[in-house]
Amino acid sequence: MFVKEVMVQNQVGLHARPATFFIQKANEYKSSVWVEKEDRRVNAKSLLGVLSLGIVGGTKIRIIADGADEQAAVDSLVALVDSGFSEQ
């Protein structure tokens, strides 16, 4: 299992468009991937799950992966969140 915490950079957070990019990136990996906000954890490959967290800009989230490519999955998702989904 590999875990990293990241601050959501873009102001609107993970609304529909960035969440879709996030999910598409998560689906590139074989590992199971989750997003955690406070005490809630959802499947990072599920649009409804990610949207249900209500992640807004300035929120700290944890990205967790478990599987053969877990570190690559987490690192690429952290990089995507850090980029602000190209909305700056």
What pLDDT digit, counting tens, does each position of 6-40 carry?
Answer: 999 888 899 989 999 999 999 999 999 999 999 99
Question: If DSSP codes are grouped into helix, strand and coil, which group holds residue 3?
Answer: strand
Domain count, the chain: 1
Domain that holds residue 16: 2-86
Question: Which residues are annotated as catalytic?
Answer: 15
Residue 87: pLDDT band with limits 50, 70, 90: low
Rounded to two decimals, the pTM is 0.93
pLDDT, residue 69, reads 98
CATH (domain of 56): 3.30.1340.10
